A and B are shown apart, each in its own frame.
Chain A
Amino acid sequence: MQWLDYPSNRGSVLRIALYGKGGIGKSTVSANLTAALGRMGLKVLQIGCDPKHDSTRLLLEGREPPTVMEMVRSSRREDMSLDSIVSRGYLGCLCVEAGGPEPGVGCAGRGILSTFELLDELGVDSLDADITVYDVLGDVVCGGFAVPLRNDYAEKVYVVSSGEFMSIYAANNILRGVRNYDPRRMAGIIFNSRGEPEEGERVRRFAAAVGLPVVAEIPRSPRFLDAERSGRTVVESDPGADLAQIFFRLASNVVEGDVMEASPLSDEELETVVLGKSPPPPIRRGGQEEPPPEGRREAPPAYTSRNVERKEVLHGCAFTGAVITCLSVEGLQTVMHSPDSCAHLSCQMAQNAARRAFVKEGVAIPSFLRPAAHCSSLDDPDMVFGGRPSLEEALQRAFERGNDVALVSSCPSGIIGDDVEEAARAVSASRPEGRVLTMLEDGNAAGDHMQGVIDACVALASGLIDPSAEPSDGLVNVVGIKPIATNNEMNMTYAEGILRRMGAAINCRFIGGTDIAGIEGFHRARHSILANTDRFALMLSRYLREEHGAEVLRSPLAPGLRGTLDWLGELAAATDRESAAEELAASLRQEYEEALPPLRQELQGRKACIISMHKDIDWLIDTLDDLGIDLLYAAVVDRSDHLMDYHVGNRHAGRIVLLEDYDMSTVVTDAMSRGPDILLSTYPVSTDGAVLQERIPMVPDIGHLAPLELARRWALGLKAPRREGWREDHG
């Protein structure tokens, strides 16, 4: 037996961490090390960082203590205390187990993070300990399991390894992990033998190659099992044995050994050093490297946003895009499997749109005014243990309000791997009349906001459209609606007015301001017309044609006379309403031409420049031409966060410059240098009031007279003071 007298309470606590491949014997080594340190007179706190929570059982006579995560799950914050989770074991050592989720659910790494945060909060540093031993699960598989490696925690890191290649491979990975933090804290390798021949040689070659000492060699021995049967460590059951001496020497190394920086090997070097051979060539398929797996999607969707197709920075998230789309359907309950923050951000978008529309137009999408939204409110325990119970509860709440439910998944629910579809199946099994339409957006794993809108439209269409609906004469669907646009209702009112004059009507507003019956009855209309010209509408149009056999007109609802006559004419031809359309067209043309002269009088001869984020500005150029305004320069600036209408062909292509790589200040300077009276731009650009700036609407009002309303503003604006008085004041 070896006793070394170490004065307890040596000042600041020494913290060490033990890492190593799962099943390599870390917990056995940790517990024996703790026992040895205890016999040396030191006070030890051992923290097991493993959902299996079996790190300290050999110090507690085989008992398993309550875990931190169980306390988090079952107790209110004000009832939590260290007393509930710290157990006293062999020679008074203190034992804490983090705990975590069952295999296959939740996120154990999040559990470790939460454990450390809570222990800090509860004042774990106030415990009377000289040494803290962190026994950490397997490989450093994520940020959570790397917490003990952070600067605030372990000052010394040991890696436990056998001589098996995969054990050494894991050890090498751990060295890579340590390098992401402070690399100069490696204390050595603990060789835990399997009893295989040449094992020791492999470990020693590896240790030499990475620059670490082998600080302990633990032979395979039945004494470990014997001790374990009685719920004890070898050090406790036979402190005089040679085996126990190994742990006493290891304990001395813990207290007095040095730390150093290790140099992990590349995979090829590892094979060479450990196995003494050249690594095989990588597996290739079809002449290319096998691509790494990406998220849950097996294949990219057929109908993509630009951000997804071009792998650009994602603007917004698919979760929000899908939620907004679903919230706009009257009668549909939308369940968000997410923390409250994601739900709040999404619902705010809908409610803000309703508020703006209500204030400006006096009318808003009804379902945005009172969102039928339900959130599973994923909290910390859900992230650790899995969020399925919370999700099922949210689904039940939704079903109490209606039979049709849309379910959208968020980043956290995707990261923790909740089986959302299975949860939906389980709940709807008890609701024979219920329908759940699942959208696995996983936050922005599926893509940007627009991708989410596309995905939701596809999901709602495939889940709700009744293919047997009988077509009815005179009905038209409007496709590609943007429900959050402030002028949405006003645009639909205009379209309805025109259609009524042709003896037609809107059947389904796909998707914005419709209801479930409207989507189900999509095929009651033989024809569909696009509400926009952007990529979103393009994708939707293609989807409806390809998957539902829809007839979608080429000409969209548009601002301006020409655009209006285009769709009117095409619809008339498709529905045998040419004579009604001709009469209507003549009436619209007359109204337009009667409205022109007073504006032309004000604006003729003026000069304008355009800087637009839309490519579809033919209607704007038509308006300038009709009013006699001289277009000096028109630039369309490519932006990945915008409507993406770059597939649109321009009648005025020769007069537009398309800029993909640009500096905005240079574009503005270029435009201003031409001396315009009016600068038309999607957003105000910095010209310090030198010229009249007017906005090109993000979603223009449609209709034959809509651009002339804009022109009225230009005419008025030109009568405003060159430099307003407020600019002379300073904020």
Chain B
Amino acid sequence: MAERCPESLMGAIMAFEGMAGSITAMNGPTGCKYYPASFSETVTRRGGFNPMLHDTLFYLGQSRVPCTYMDSSDYVSGARERMRALWDDSRSRRPSMLALINSPGASLIGEMLTFDGEAPPTVAMESPPPSASFSSGYETAMLATLEGLAPSPAEPREMTVNLLGISVADLGWEDSIADLRRLLSLCGVEVLCSPGAGWAPEDVQRSAGAALNVAVHDERAAMTSEWYRRNLNVPFVRCSSGAPLGFEALEEWLKEVCHALEADPSPALGRIAASRRRAHREISRLDQYAGLPRGCSFSLEGRPSLVWPALRSIHAYLGMVPVAVSMTEDGPCAAEVESYLRSIGCGEASTSVLDCPADVVLADGNTVAGVLGRGLSDCGVELDHPSLTPICIREDPLLGLGGTLRLIERSLQGLKR
């Protein structure tokens, strides 16, 4: 599993890449930078590999994550002077924030990432935690960003929230934020920003004035929310239903947020109710002519905050049965998932989604391809990158109301064959 899942280095880089206008510069070999750079280009919609266009020193054919192209002799002598040159090159491009990060090998030899001189706001991560979870790397980078940009305490603005735990690495991150923003605004709640996902340096200070921090993905929110609480007095709420995905979890999440802010959730709940009726119409047709989706099997893989609400939705709402469930890292919702599986008599469900036949497989695009390509399923629903369909022009959120409808629609699509 560790081999297939994005881990702490990716988490840290994506947290830095989530700052609009930033440059993330890596001290390390090219092998450590190619994939993160390519991934960032895809998820933040900024260019693509083209060595004929991006043929500059440090960038090596890509538009993101320049590096010092360390080799084995640099592990002996260090690459400080080249890193200084990269730092000079990066600051001359006037990024909104400059993040400097060591690769595992550079970290091992103790490469220092501080330089004297005028520079944009700079954050350095000399020792990204090795072999830790994506969330761990992400939160370590988020804390470094907050410490580095050091927002000052601000008077909380009523009925405002920050959405914590979203990463630009998440499928449909922009549209998910937009979807949740719309729902909350129906309740009179304004989203100030989503730290780590498309925020800008000025948003860092704005975020200090939120009345509440709200966990979207709680495995990535604990340390960040604690920092806000300790340094800026911003309180935090986490919904035990996990991420706002699936009608039940979405409603519970909205109610929890509104309750904490003393806002009225009914306008948003009314919108959800209308979508429920629409979904009912489609599902009842399928039920009437095929007796589906009740009893169909599904396998599910992802981070706990996604797996928990998706599991409930597909089992309790659609009536499908899990045959394999696995979580790519640890998190507060993991216990809920395990408890639920036991309660529905599926405590012995396989944890190997890649090897389990199922009517529907829900996972990242590569796992979906791996299952479909080996004939173990006919229907796949992507819950994470890499995506089978990287071109995305229509809004296609993973979370919120749009995400819920997406989840239902795509889970049923393959069953109609």
Contacts and interface: CB of A to CB of B under 8 A. Distances in A.
A380 interface: yes
Interface in A384-413: 410-412
Contact of A369 (B34, B36, B114, B373): B373
A468 interface: no
A412 B374 contact: no
Interface string B180-197: 000000000000000000
B369 interface: yes
A18 interface: no
Nearest to A452: B31
Nearest to B45: A731
Which interface residue of B31, B75, B110, B366 has the most chain A CB atoms within 10 A? Answer: B31
A340 B4 CA distance: 9
A533 interface: no
B373 A341 contact: no
Nearest to A147: B110
Which interface residue of A294, A336, A341, A639 has the most chain B CB atoms within 10 A? Answer: A341
B53 A347 contact: no
Contact of B3 (A110, A144, A344): A344
B104 A146 contact: no
Contacts of B55: 664
Interface string A346-368: 11110110110011000110100
B123 to A, nearest CB: 15
Contacts of B71: 313-314, 444-445
Contact of A319 (B31, B50, B355): B31
Interface in B244-266: none
Interface stretch (A97-105, A535-543, A678-686): A678-686
Contacts of A344: 2-7, 10
A672 to B, nearest CB: 14
B87 to A, nearest CB: 16
A612 to B, nearest CB: 10
Contacts of A686: 53
A213 interface: no
Interface stretch (B129-137, B157-165, B397-405): B129-137
Contact of A340 (B2, B51, B103, B126): B2
A103 B80 CA distance: 28
B69 A314 contact: yes
Contacts of A345: 31-32, 34-36
B29 interface: yes
A378 interface: yes
Given A380-B130, A383-B130, A685-B53, A295 B72 contact: yes
Interface in B346-381: 354-355, 365-366, 369-370, 372-374
Interface residues of B, number: 58
A84 to B, nearest CB: 20
Which interface residue of B127, B131, B370 has the most chain A CB atoms within 10 A? Answer: B131
A343 interface: yes
A339 B72 CA distance: 17
A150 B113 CA distance: 11
B3 A143 contact: no
Contacts of A314: 29-31, 69, 71
B73 A294 contact: yes
A551 B275 CA distance: 68
Interface string A663-684: 0100000000000000001111
A536 B111 CA distance: 34
Which interface residue of A112, A343, A369 has the most chain B CB atoms within 10 A? Answer: A369
A366 B208 CA distance: 50
Contacts of B36: 345
B105 A316 contact: no
A383 B366 CA distance: 30
Interface string B52-63: 110100001100
A109 interface: yes
A641 interface: yes
Contact of B388 (A143, A316, A355, A681): A355
Contacts of B103: 411
A189 B312 CA distance: 69
B144 to A, nearest CB: 12
B68 to A, nearest CB: 10
A681 B51 CA distance: 12
3 shortest interchain CB distances as A-B pairs: A143-B110, A317-B31, A411-B105
28 contacts: A113-B127, A150-B114, A317-B30, A320-B31, A339-B131, A340-B131, A341-B104, A342-B32, A344-B7, A345-B35, A345-B36, A351-B366, A355-B386, A358-B372, A369-B369, A371-B3, A383-B130, A411-B104, A411-B105, A411-B108, A412-B104, A415-B109, A443-B31, A443-B72, A445-B72, A613-B51, A683-B52, A684-B52
Given A313-B71, A355-B388, A374-B3, 16 more contacts: A109-B110, A113-B126, A142-B109, A146-B110, A150-B114, A295-B72, A342-B32, A348-B386, A364-B369, A379-B130, A410-B104, A411-B103, A415-B108, A639-B51, A681-B52, A684-B53
